Structures are given as C-alpha cells and as structure tokens.
C-alpha cells in the first residue's frame, strides 16, 4: 500500500510550510496540563453527560468552561468541546445551555454529530467540527457538512488514497466552510478502535442498557467469548477468544504519508486515559510531526517513539489500520493493557522547595530507592518525571525509603502539594 500511495502522489509536491494541528485528549485537569506540556496544539474535552466519553473520562462541568478556555489561551492552544452524542428531545434544553456556555467562554469550537446540535450551534454563531460519528466517507458528504463546519473528521475506515482524493478535490473544487476558508480534514492517528463502523455499536445497550452512542459504553466487546452451537452444544474452535476487541491504532510509522495525503488536524484518542498516557503519546507524535517538517523523519526514529507509545496503555497496535488498506482482524488477544511499563502509587507531595528544587514526599505505599524512575501527576502540574538521584529520610541520606517515611528528593520540575507520586517499572517486574 505504501508503494501504491507513493505512485499516486509521486508528482505531488508537499507544502513544507503547512501547519499540522496536533489535538490531544483531556479527560481531566491532569491530562489537560499534560497535553499542554507535551506540545499539543489543541485539546478536546467533554462536559457532563452529552459526550462520547461520559463514562470513561472524568468530565468537566459547564462551570469549568471559562477556566479551561483561559488555560488554553494562556498557553496558545485551541480548545474544543465534544458534544457529540445523539440528543433526545428531553435534552434539547441542556444541549442549548452547553452551546450557549461554550460560546460565552469563547471556546474554539464544539465537536458534534447530531444535526440538532449542529444547527443550534450555527444559529448562535458557535464554530463546529463534525465528529467521526458522522462517518464521512466521500466527497458528497464533505460538501454537505461543509455548510456547517470548517473542520470535518473523516471516517477511520478510509484508506490513504481515499483520504488523499478527498483532500485534493476540496482544493480543486474550492469547497469551503462557513468561515470562507477551505475545509480542513481531521484524522484520528492513535488510540482505541471500535469493532463497529464509526463506533455506532448497540451491543452495550442491548446487553446492559448502557448506550455506546451516549458515551456510556461498558465495552462488552473487549471481553473474551466462546462460540457454541445451541442445537448441538459443539464449540467452534477459534484462534482468539477476543474476537470483537481490535488492537489500537498506531500511525507513527507512516505519519509522513498521512501528512502527504492532505489532512491538517491529527487527533489522539484517549479522553478516558491517564495523564501519563496523554503526555507520552502526545510527545511522541509531536516529535514525529516536527521531525517531518525538519526533514528528519526516519523509520529508525519511529522505533524510539514507538517504545514510548508501548510503555503506556495499549491493547497492542494494529499498525496502519484501515489507512493502509488492511482489513479489521488484528485482535488484542488479551483483556486490558499490554503496556511494557506499569506505574504504582508511592505517595503524595507534602511540599516543594523551588530554589533547591527539592520535593518533600510522604511514602504511603510502594518503597522507593535511588535509581528508581518516578512520575508526578497533579491538576496543575499535569505530568512530570525524573530518576531518583538521592533520598533523605528524616534529613539523613538513605539508599531507600519505605511506607510511612517522610522523605526529600531532588525533583527538577516544580511540583504542587498533593501531587501524586508513582514509581514506573517494567511490567514484568510487578508480575514476579
């Protein structure tokens, strides 16, 4: 597929000044600040219950919109409110209230699917992005949605040539959005995939009355299953019992091709993930994008970036996904994460002394030793990491510390009181 794509575009010169917007998930204040630190150009988040990660994330509330908007403006990034569930009649007032608050908070745009949300947002002058839930797969759909939005998220089931064709035709046919600018194409580049097209799955609703299309999915598909013939009792032998749990998407190896296809907004999935996931995934794709425009993007570098991606939550990676013309069939093979690293809670920050850059930490759980890798996660700190170079217990040097110890250690980045401290080790270490 790589050769086929390059044959299609061998005469297409890339605009090296083109700006790629890297959009990171923010399911919490910790993740919001982690995304900013890692170099995101924009973040997206949800409030209350009308978003597709209402269960998985720790959604913000309407009252938080101005604060989030101000944080993003201070850091020079855009912020988008995901308001992309289907909307019922008894929720119209809530939807309008959220849109009104988003406009008042001066958010960059909302991400929507339901036409009622789209129409109301446009009526009040609130910018809209069309969600992947709309399953935009062809140029006619692009033309239709362009009357409402400047940015359209394409279906994750398209191939690179199909994406490139749409992007090319947008320019040729001068398809523009409400702002008068050419429509921009947004793509998911990393994270969880759903077994159903555009995520429109009713399995959770049918089995548990928790609708995936309402942000309330219980992810029944991620469990293991056996196939048994009710009539005979015979069980079919299958290679993998996780036959509805696809591996996660990872595009970092061919990010150059995605850029070449013409998409300008790259989105990371994961509003239900922790701050360390958001930081490391965002940082890896930030490095990859910057390396591309510096003319330094190589497969060798992508191996290093991938090590970081493999260290945080993942179900294994379906590298290329539909984008490279593959058929869905790479299943996770296990329940939960296959991350190479795992974090364990150690304790919390009691104080931080800025001039000597020393953190005072109360050990509440795991022991700590010189040479250990630790991270700090907090609402304002976001994410910070260091290796333990020295430990003082009760103001005396020590090689390690145990539960109940009040310690001080050097920490190069400013921490805040009550930030949580975790130790990071190879997953195999915890399994011993």
Query: What digits encode the pLDDT tens for the residues 198-215?
Result: 666 666 666 676 666 666
Place of tokens 């170079």: 389
Q: How many CA atoms, within 13 angstroms, populate the side-chain half-sphere of residue 175?
A: 25
User: What are the pLDDT digits (tens) for 88-144?
Assistant: 999 999 999 999 999 999 999 999 999 999 999 999 999 999 999 899 999 999 999
Mean pLDDT, rounded, for 332-361 = 90
CATH 3.40.50.300 fits 341-430, yes or no: no
User: What are the pLDDT digits (tens) for 371-394?
Assistant: 999 999 999 999 999 999 999 998
Q: Architecture of domain 2-193+246-324 in CATH?
A: Alpha-Beta Barrel (3.20)
**pLDDT the model gives residue 368:** 95
Whether pLDDT at 159 is above 60: yes
Which is nearest to 408 in space by CA: 420, 392, 422?
392
Question: Confidence class of residue 311 from pLDDT cuts 50, 70 and 90?
Answer: very high
**pLDDT the model gives residue 12:** 43
**pLDDT the model gives residue 213:** 63
Q: How many CA atoms, within 13 angstroms, populate the side-chain half-sphere of residue 130?
A: 27
User: What are the pLDDT digits (tens) for 2-18?
Assistant: 444 443 343 344 444 45
CB-CB contact of 155 with 249 (8 Å): no
Which is nearest to 188 in space by CA: 273, 249, 279?
249
Calpha distance 121→253 (Å, rounded) = 37
Classify residue 138 by its DSSP letter: S
**Token couple for 378:** 């907090």
- Say which residues have a Cβ less than 8 Å from residue 136's Cβ, sequence separation at least 6: 130, 142, 145, 152, 153, 154, 155
Domain chopping of the chain, boundaries: 2-193+246-324, 341-430
Rg (CA), the chain: 23
Mean pLDDT, rounded, for 246-270 = 93
What integer best gives the mean pLDDT of the chain? 87
pTM here is: 0.88
Calpha distance 393→402 (Å, rounded) = 10
25 membership: H or E segment, kind and range: strand 21-25
**pLDDT the model gives residue 168:** 97
């Amino acid at each position: 597929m790589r050769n086929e794509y390059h044959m299609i575009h061998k005469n297409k010169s890339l605009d090296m000044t083109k700006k790629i917007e890297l959009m990171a998930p923010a399911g919490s204040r910790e993740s919001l600040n982690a995304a900013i630190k890692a170099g995101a150009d924009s973040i997206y988040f949800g409030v209350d219950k009308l978003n597709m990660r209402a269960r998985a994330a720790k959604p913000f509330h309407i009252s938080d919109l101005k604060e989030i908007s101000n944080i993003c403006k201070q850091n020079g990034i855009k912020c988008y409110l995901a308001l992309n569930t289907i909307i019922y009649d008894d929720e119209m007032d809530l939807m309008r209230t959220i849109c009104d608050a988003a406009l008042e908070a001066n958010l960059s745009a909302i991400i929507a699917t339901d036409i009622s949300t789209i129409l109301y947002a446009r009526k009040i002058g609130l910018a809209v992005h069309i969600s992947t839930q709309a399953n935009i797969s062809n140029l006619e759909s692009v033309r239709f949605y362009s009357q409402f939005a400047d940015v359209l998220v394409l279906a994750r089931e398209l191939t690179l040539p199909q994406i490139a064709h749409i992007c090319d035709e947008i320019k040729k046919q001068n398809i523009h959005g409400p702002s008068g600018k050419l429509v921009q194409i947004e793509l998911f580049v990393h994270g969880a995939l759903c077994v159903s097209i555009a995520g429109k799955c009713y399995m959770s609703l049918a089995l548990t009355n928790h609708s995936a299309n309402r942000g309330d999915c219980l992810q029944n598909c991620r469990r293991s299953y056996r196939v048994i013939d009710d009539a005979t009792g015979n069980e079919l032998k299958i290679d993998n019992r996780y036959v509805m749990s696809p591996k996660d998407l990872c595009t970092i190896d061919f990010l150059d091709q995605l850029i070449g296809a013409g998409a300008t907004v790259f989105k990371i999935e994961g509003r239900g993930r922790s701050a360390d996931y958001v930081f490391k995934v965002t940082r890896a794709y930030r490095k990859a994008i910057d390396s591309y425009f510096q003319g330094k993007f190589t497969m060798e570098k992508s191996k290093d970036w991938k090590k970081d991606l493999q260290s945080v939550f993942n179900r294994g990676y379906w590298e290329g996904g539909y984008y490279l013309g593959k058929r869905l069939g790479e299943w996770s093979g296990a329940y939960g994460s296959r991350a190479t690293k795992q974090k364990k809670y150690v304790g919390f920050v009691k104080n931080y002394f800025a001039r000597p850059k020393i953190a005072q930490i109360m050990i509440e759980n795991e022991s700590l030793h010189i040479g250990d890798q630790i991270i700090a996660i907090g609402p304002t700190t976001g994410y910070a990491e260091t290796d333990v170079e020295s430990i003082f217990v009760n103001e005396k040097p020590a090689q390690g510390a145990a539960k109940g110890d009040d310690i001080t250690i050097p920490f190069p980045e400013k921490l805040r009181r009550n930030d949580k401290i975790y130790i990071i080790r190879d997953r195999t270490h915890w399994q011993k």
